[in-house]
Structure 1
């Protein structure tokens, strides 16, 4: 496949109203406020803003209501009965946006803000690609590096994938990040909704991998988001390693088994390299504990995740998320 030249502005062929921003939030109303304020300043704006509230017990609901008359586009607010994690929240957000008839769905956490012309920047690439990731500024204004390539056999990110862009302005990826994934409904129809069984972690990487099996997925040289929450990290230059939590440590190991089930379903699972990927993930988390959090406490959650993952890997009833009906009409 020959590489096309970098896209010029495509405002005439991309309709901002065809896009929906889908946000997942949980007990972080101050961060959500900052994100919604940034959407107020956006030009152009999306047709809808979907907010999935993972059963927050703070003032998230009133905060959302305070923006209805200010934001300049329609807000659709869904408060879930229980906390379904980021995975469940993005699955529900994708479902709501899809049923609204959205052509494009832009996913994001509550701890980012949108650059004012971010939607126009993403839309400029929309006529050419169907799965697009923009770039982000970190909390301190530096360029945030994201590992956009996955070593498929190992099912882990490639940490040394080149960070720079050439004159084309994009790089092909086979991964995804729900902090900024911009995806067309046709691809969602083919691969289904994000899998809520992940709860947190690996869900977006797998979803991006699934998308890349149906379309050319790209990360583009466009800064469209800025992170608004400072996270303790180990700075390694252009790359960094963030602090984590016990829940993170548990799910990063447990959810390897869900990826394993998807790999089996798609005929790409190979036991030896996949097991190597799991071992490398475990080692990376030990390094994270030592280098970022400067402790060895937390390793029990890694082992617990491995243990519970074995039951998932052996579950013969496990099925991947089904495709959606490929209709472009909203559901009544």
Structure 2
């Protein structure tokens, strides 16, 4: 395998201590990477001062544009700087020392790929941030998801930005993450577009731990933090958009029924009427949300 230039992109906001742990884990990687870019989304804690004191990374300070805006900036910058692969993650991800090495070994096994993602566990060892299986079928009409199963690779159609290695050349055709998503779903939409260019794979031997305070799947029904309830507007709006763009009509109809159940269930929980209002606002916005996809080196 030819020597490739590898950039790492970490997006952070007001989590200095977690960011420090994330960066230290990256510094201990067995496989050598070339450049670390940290996108600081307008942090107001000690993050900026600490980042400015580090000399082994390039920092981009910007206003808070959400995780989506951060990954848009970092991936755009790395692609336009001609890095071959871009390893992206949030600031609360702890990569095992061979996480990158295992993904690069996997890269040697497959003829082409658009992205590779790690196996993600919670702090208590439960699998989370599970990617979506790619159900593309072979000429004999069997799903291809297990074509490299003997190597611990599973073919997937989309993944969250919790340790994803992106093949930069496919970003040229797929476009960048949509910054207008703000939070939630930008990674699923982006990797869906990538996997249309070439397969994506989960690398079972590449392992990371996600230090999220609440490892449960995000849900408006179970959300108790009123500030977080308001943020579910983006979750609902963006998922409606993703369904419109990436799913078949029958799947979209099933999703609509599912969202209806969520709306009804939310109404009978604490802050139920407020949740229902957020849901209706997000659902309506998702029907008309049509953000522009930006491509690397595109003049804006």
TM-score (normalizing by structure 1): 0.73
Alpha-carbon shift at residue 26 of structure 1 (Å): 0.4
- Residue of structure 2 equivalent to 1:114: 95
Report the CA distance between 1:302 and its aligned residue.
4.9
> Structure 1 residues 138 and 304 mapped into 2: Cα distance closer, same or farther (>3 Å)?
closer
- Structure 1 CA distance, aligned partners of 2:2 and 2:52? 29
Residue 278 of structure 2: which of 292, 304, 307 is its match? 304
Deviation at 1:261, TM superposition (A): 5.7
Local SS of the residue matching 1:186:
helix
In structure 2, the CA distance between the partners of 1:284 and 1:106, relative to structure 1 (3 Å rule), is: farther
Q: Which residue of 2 aligns with 1:203?
A: 186
SS of alignment partner, residue 208 of structure 1: helix
| TM superposition shift of 1:285 | 7.2
Q: How does 1:24-173 map to 2 (within 5 A)?
A: 24-68=11-55, 74-81=56-63, 83-127=64-108, 128=110, 129-144=113-128, 146-149=130-133, 166-173=149-156
The structural deviation recorded for 1:43 is: 2.1
Where 1:194 maps in the other structure, the secondary structure is coil
The separation in 1 between residues aligned to 2:212 and 2:272, in whole angstroms, is: 23
Is the contact between residue 7 and residue 87 of structure 2 (CA under 8 Å) also seen in structure 1? yes
1:11-52 Cα offsets, whole Å, 9 max, x none, are: xx2646x11110111000010011111122222231111111
Distance 1:203 1:286, change over 3 A: farther
Identify if the C-alpha distance between structure 1 residues 62 and 298 changes in structure 2 by more than 3 Å, giving closer, same or farther.
farther
CA shift at 1:305, angstroms? 4.4
Q: Counterpart in 2 of 1:225?
A: 208
In 2, distance between residues paired with 1:91 and 1:285? 31
The alpha carbon displacement at 1:181 in A equals 1.5
C-alpha distance in 1 between matches for 2:117 and 2:41: 24
Q: What is the CA RMSD across the aligned residues, in angstroms? A: 3.1
Deviation at 1:145, TM superposition (A): 5.8
Structure 1 Cα separation of the partners of residues 189 and 154 of structure 2: 18
Q: Is the Cα contact below 8 Å between 1:194 and 1:203 reproduced in 2?
A: yes
Rounded to whole Å, the distance in 2 between the matches of 1:59 and 1:225 is 25
- CA-CA distance at 1:126 after TM superposition: 1.9
Going from structure 1 to structure 2, the CA distance change for 1:121 and 1:282 (only over 3 Å counts) comes to farther
Counterpart of 1:113 in 2: which secondary structure? strand
In 1, Cα distance between the equivalents of 2:158 and 2:170?
14
TM-score under structure 2 length normalisation: 0.81
SS in 2 for 1:88: helix
Q: Distance in 2 between matches of 1:286 and 1:86?
A: 29
Q: Number of matched residues? A: 280
Judging changes above 3 Å, is the alpha-carbon distance between structure 1 residues 302 and 218 closer, same or farther for their aligned structure 2 residues? farther
Matched ranges for 1:178-197 at <5 A: 178-197=161-180
Q: Distance in 2 between matches of 1:199 and 1:20?
A: 23
Alpha-carbon shift at residue 241 of structure 1 (Å): 6.6
**C-alpha distance in structure 1 between counterparts of 2:263 and 2:153, whole Å:** 30
CA distance in 1, matches of 2:243, 2:123: 34
Distance, in Å, in 1 between the alignment partners of 2:179 and 2:73 is 9
Local SS of the residue matching 1:141: coil
How far 1:175 moved relative to its partner?
1.2
Q: Is the 1:20–1:46 Cα contact (8 Å) retained in structure 2?
A: yes
Shift of 1:119: 1.3
Question: Is 2:293 aligned against 1:321?
Answer: yes
Other structure's SS at 2:162 match:
coil
Specify the alignment match of 2:258 in structure 1. Answer: 280
Quote the offset at 1:65 in angstroms: 2.9
What SS does the aligned partner of 2:213 have? Answer: coil
